[in-house]
């Protein structure tokens, strides 16, 4: 009987995670900085955070929300607005006389502001929306994400949001590299820093999930009526989960801004939400590990490994048929269909990395006996 | 002295009155049962007492205090626990996690651990399966878990909604044994059942509910002896 959960799998997991961080650091110092690997890692870390935040709602609380892109947009804008250097503002806000806000805050503060702003929007939206259930809630959140997008593009808010023009010149991931006097990079940190940011945020989410609050959220997911009968305040807990999830989506949005180096409201479409939903589904609804793994897989496929499908490929003199711009998306759709049909529980189901390790050790222990 | 007192309770869903003004008492340390056919309003009564449904009129008193407008959270805290109909355990949580949810509103950490051991004592089967997901338990085990989960709230009154529903006759016997055990520990039980025979044998006092009204009441033996009850609920035809 396995009465007490052993601590060893947890320790192995921590060691593994630490090893990944070290590997990222070493790879960054040794490999050329323009390698595709780093693009994938940076965007992957960003998407991992957003996917985990979505999983907190969809997988752990059972709230099917599709507002993620909207909250990322809020986060990305908050970050951009508060970090564009004063000197650059005149050129960025060229149609709005340099904009209204004439101060900047440190990157870390801007990221927290990004999260808080997203959480605040979530609170407001949650007041009416969280009374709805399942599909209706999904439709309503999707609608609100579109409304947010429209509002941020509105010219009337131009002095703050720069209307439909893009925000740029704010600190990006590359600015985390440490440079010497001549501007040459001495220590590369542009991949490690986003890894750290995402790592800290995901750790916080994991701690929440494993707390008694998290257990209450899972109880709500499994059976609302029984949870309420046990004295769990449904409205309060749902609102909490919605705001926390949106907070981290906002932070993720700020990271996406840093990754892209520019922010424009029109790129935060519902298609972005679907991408993240896809990551969550492929990774396994209810598994943080799954969301993280599938984020990197998804980003690697869409940005790197499947790119060749979009270009003409010649094998000798033979031109491979079908390959042209957009074919990648066709292949992608097929992969998704296969996953949904045959691997319905995703890569990880609802298991986490320590669960897998402990099962492995248990079976090994049995073999030894 | 009655621990729980319900007076003139009226509950309506939309325009339809599910309860048309019922009054009853639940005495301390007793097993009280409400029997009645489908749609008589039994579940509604329990749901109203536990604050899941708001009554249109009428009052509910617990230890002399009016708890009608307390809200579920506070009602659970004051010591009234509900074992919902159809068990409703949290299928994707382990047995242990289910029990911990029962203690969600409590702050006394050490006592909670003791109470978990206490529940395991009541139901050794749950201890064997403490790391198993609740959804993988058998129906009887799930019912034990649902009761155990309610016990974890440290209730003085435990209300059970059709605990024998969908269980094999042997398991039903176990469930009624459990109810007696709970009574033995000083708990008050408010039981609603369609299995009138078993309920009347187990209870100290019973009320008969018909389409939202209480039509009869008495001790278990009295009702078992009544010809009206025998014909309506126990399937015996009067010999002519």
Q: pLDDT band for position A359 (50/70/90)?
A: low
Question: Which CA distances in Å does B237 have to B198, B227, B232?
Answer: 18, 9, 9
Predicted confidence at residue A335, as pLDDT, reads: 81
Q: What is the mean pLDDT of residues B15-39?
A: 90
Nearest residue in B to A218, CA atom? B93
Predicted confidence at residue B155, as pLDDT, reads: 92
Nearest residue in A to B151, CA atom? A230
Nearest to A229 among B72, B91, B131 (CB): B72
Residue B95 lies in a domain: yes
Name the minimum distance, in Å, from the CA of B222 to any CA of chain A.
33
Q: pLDDT band for position A362 (50/70/90)?
A: low
Range of weakest confidence among A355-369, B116-130, B149-163: A355-369
Question: Is residue B117 within 8 angstroms of chain A, CB to CB?
Answer: no
Predicted confidence at residue B1, as pLDDT, reads: 64
Q: Do B104 and A230 touch (CB under 8 A)?
A: yes
Question: Is residue B237 within 8 angstroms of chain A, CB to CB?
Answer: no
For chain A, give the percent of residues with pLDDT over 70: 95
Q: Do B82 and A3 touch (CB under 8 A)?
A: no
Q: pLDDT band for position A1 (50/70/90)?
A: very low
Question: Residue B81's closest CA among B5, B146, B158?
Answer: B158
Name the minimum distance, in Å, from the CA of B85 to any CA of chain A.
9
A219 pLDDT above the threshold of 80: yes
Nearest residue in A to B75, CA atom? A231
Nearest to A215 among B84, B101, B128 (CB): B101
A366 pLDDT above the threshold of 70: no
Q: Do A212 and B100 touch (CB under 8 A)?
A: yes
Distance, CA of A313 to CA of B184 (rounded, Å):
80
Q: What is the mean pLDDT of residues A256-280?
A: 91
pLDDT in tens, B73-93: 999 999 999 999 888 999 999
B108 pLDDT above the threshold of 60: yes
Nearest residue in B to A60, CA atom? B92
Predicted confidence at residue B239, as pLDDT, reads: 56
Domain positions in chain A are 8-363
Q: pLDDT band for position A368 (50/70/90)?
A: very low
- State pTM to two decimals: 0.88
pLDDT in tens, A9-32: 888 889 999 999 999 999 988 888
Question: Is residue B72 within 8 angstroms of chain A, CB to CB?
Answer: yes
Question: What CATH number is associated with residue B99?
Answer: 3.40.50.300
Q: Do A225 and B102 touch (CB under 8 A)?
A: no
Residue B238 lies in a domain: no
Name the minimum distance, in Å, from the CA of B105 to any CA of chain A.
7
Question: Which CA distances in Å does B193 have to A124, A259, B13, B197, B236?
Answer: 44, 62, 22, 9, 18
Best probe of the A interface among B104, B117, B153, by most A CBs < 10 A, is B104
DSSP letter at B136? Answer: G
Those residues of chain A whose CB sits closer than 8 Å to some CB in chain B are: 1-3, 5, 212, 215-216, 218-219, 221-223, 225-233, 286, 350
- A193 vs A1: which has the higher pLDDT: A193
Q: pLDDT band for position A2 (50/70/90)?
A: very low
Predicted confidence at residue B48, as pLDDT, reads: 93
pLDDT in tens, A26-76: 998 888 888 889 999 999 999 999 999 999 999 999 999 999 999 999 999
- For B113, the enclosing helix (H) or strand (E) is helix B109-122
B240 pLDDT above the threshold of 70: no
Neighboring chain B residues of A231 at a CB cutoff of 8 Å: 72-73, 75-77, 104-105, 153
Q: What is the mean pLDDT of residues B1-8?
A: 88
A130 pLDDT above the threshold of 80: yes
B212 pLDDT above the threshold of 80: yes
Q: Do A223 and B88 touch (CB under 8 A)?
A: yes
pLDDT in tens, B140-165: 899 999 999 999 999 999 999 988 88
Neighboring chain B residues of A232 at a CB cutoff of 8 Å: 73, 101, 104
Question: Is residue B153 within 8 angstroms of chain A, CB to CB?
Answer: yes
Distance, CA of A331 to CA of B153 (rounded, Å):
53
| Tally of domains within chain B | 1
Residue B201 structural domain:
2-233
Predicted confidence at residue A346, as pLDDT, reads: 82
Distance, CA of B135 to CA of A344 (rounded, Å):
19
Q: What is the mean pLDDT of residues A149-174?
A: 87
Supply the mean pLDDT for chain B: 89
Predicted confidence at residue B238, as pLDDT, reads: 58
CB A202 within 8 A of CB B124: no
Residue B45 lies in a domain: yes
Nearest to B84 among A3, A219, A229 (CB): A229
Predicted confidence at residue A369, as pLDDT, reads: 40
Range of weakest confidence among A246-255, A315-324, B66-75, B88-97: A315-324
* CB contact burial B39-66 (16+ within 10 A = b; e otherwise): ebbbbbbbbbbbbbbebeebebbbeeee
Nearest residue in A to B70, CA atom? A231
A115 pLDDT above the threshold of 90: yes
Distance, CA of B182 to CA of B180 (rounded, Å):
5
Predicted confidence at residue A89, as pLDDT, reads: 84
Neighboring chain A residues of B95 at a CB cutoff of 8 Å: none
Nearest to B104 among A1, A221, A232 (CB): A232
Bridge partner list, B60: B6
A338 pLDDT above the threshold of 50: yes
Size of interface A-B (CB pairs under 8 A): 70
A117 pLDDT above the threshold of 90: yes
Name the minimum distance, in Å, from the CA of B203 to any CA of chain A.
24
Residue B239 lies in a domain: no
Supply the mean pLDDT for chain A: 87
Q: Do A233 and B101 touch (CB under 8 A)?
A: no
Nearest to A231 among B84, B92, B104 (CB): B104
Nearest to A2 among B73, B90, B131 (CB): B131
SS3 assignment for chain A: CCCCCCCHHHHHHHHHHHHHHHHHHHHHHHCCCCCHHHHHHHHHHHHHHHHHHHHHHHHHHCCCCCCHHHHHHHHHHHHHHHHCCHHHHHHHCHHHCCCCCCCCCCHHHHHHHHHHHHHHHHHHHHHHHCCCCHHHHHHHHHHHHHHHHHHHHCHHHHHHHCCCCCEECCCCHHHHCEECCCCCEEECCCCHHHHHHHHHHHHHHHHHHHCHHHHHHHHHHHCHHHHHHCCCCHHHHHHHHHHHHHHHHHHHHHHHHHHHCEECHHHCCHHHHHHHHHHHHHHCCCCHHHHHHHHHHHHHHHHHHCHHHHCCCEECCEECCCCCCCHHHHHHHHHHHHHHHHCCCCCCCCCCHHHHHHHHHHHHHHHHC
ipTM for this model: 0.87
């Amino acid at each position: 009987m396995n009465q007490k959960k052993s601590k060893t799998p947890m320790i192995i997991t921590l060691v593994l995670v630490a090893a990944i961080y070290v590997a990222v650091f070493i790879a960054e110092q040794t490999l050329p900085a323009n390698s595709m690997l780093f693009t994938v890692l940076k965007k992957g870390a960003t998407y991992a955070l957003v996917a985990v935040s979505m999983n907190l709602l969809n997988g752990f609380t059972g709230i099917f929300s599709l507002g993620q892109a909207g909250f990322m947009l809020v986060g990305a804008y908050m970050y951009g607005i508060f970090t564009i250097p004063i000197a650059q503002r005149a050129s960025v806000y060229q149609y709005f006389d340099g904009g209204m806000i004439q101060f900047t805050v440190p990157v870390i503060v801007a990221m927290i502001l990004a999260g808080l702003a997203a959480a605040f929007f979530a609170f407001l939206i949650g007041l009416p929306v969280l009374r709805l259930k399942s599909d209706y809630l999904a439709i309503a959140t999707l609608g609100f994400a579109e409304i947010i997008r429209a509002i941020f593009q509105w010219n009337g808010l131009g002095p703050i949001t720069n209307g439909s023009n893009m925000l740029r010149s704010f600190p990006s991931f590359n600015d985390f590299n440490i440079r010497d006097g001549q501007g040459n990079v001495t220590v590369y940190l542009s991949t490690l820093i986003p890894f750290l940011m995402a790592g800290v945020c995901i750790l916080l989410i994991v701690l929440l999930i494993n707390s008694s609050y998290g257990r209450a959220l899972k109880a709500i997911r499994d059976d609302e009526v029984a949870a309420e009968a046990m004295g769990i305040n449904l409205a309060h807990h749902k609102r909490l989960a919605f705001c926390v999830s949106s907070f981290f989506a906002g932070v993720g949005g700020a990271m996406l801004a840093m990754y892209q180096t520019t922010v424009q409201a029109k790129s935060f479409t519902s298609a972005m939400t679907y991408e993240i939903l896809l990551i969550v589904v492929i990774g396994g609804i209810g598994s943080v590990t799954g969301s993280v793994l599938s984020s990197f897989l998804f980003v690697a496929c869409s940005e790197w490994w499947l790119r060749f499908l979009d270009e003409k490929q010649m094998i000798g003199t033979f031109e491979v048929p079908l390959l042209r711009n957009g074919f990648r998306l066709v292949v992608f759709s097929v992969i998704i269909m296969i996953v949904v049909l045959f691997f319905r529980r995703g890569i990880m189901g609802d298991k986490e990395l320590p669960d897998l390790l402990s099962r492995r050790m248990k079976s090994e222990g049995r073999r030894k006996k | 002295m009655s621990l729980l007192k319900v007076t003139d309770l009226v509950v309506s869903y939309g325009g339809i009155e599910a309860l048309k003004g019922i009054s009853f008492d639940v005495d301390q340390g007793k097993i009280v049962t409400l029997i009645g056919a489908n749609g008589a309003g039994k579940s509604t009564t329990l749901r109203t007492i536990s604050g899941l449904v708001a009554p249109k009129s009428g009052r509910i008193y617990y230890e002399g205090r009016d708890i009608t407008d307390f809200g579920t959270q506070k009602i659970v805290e004051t010591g009234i626990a509900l074992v919902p109909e159809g068990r409703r355990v949290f299928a994707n949580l382990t047995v242990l996690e289910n029990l911990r949810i029962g203690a969600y509103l409590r702050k006394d950490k050490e006592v909670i651990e003791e109470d978990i051991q206490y529940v395991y004592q009541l139901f050794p089967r749950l201890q064997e399966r403490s790391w198993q997901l609740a959804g993988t338990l058998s129906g009887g085990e799930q019912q034990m878990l649902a009761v155990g989960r309610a016990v974890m709230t440290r209730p003085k009154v435990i209300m059970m909604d059709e605990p024998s529903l969908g269980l094999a006759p042997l398991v039903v016997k176990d469930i009624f044994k459990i109810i007696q055990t709970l009574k033995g520990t000083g708990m008050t039980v408010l039981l609603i059942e369609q299995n009138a025979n078993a309920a009347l044998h187990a209870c100290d006092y019973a009320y008969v509910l018909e389409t939202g009204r209480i039509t009869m009441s008495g001790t278990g033996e009295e009702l078992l002896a009544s010809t009206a009850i025998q014909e309506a609920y126990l399937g015996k035809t009067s010999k002519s």
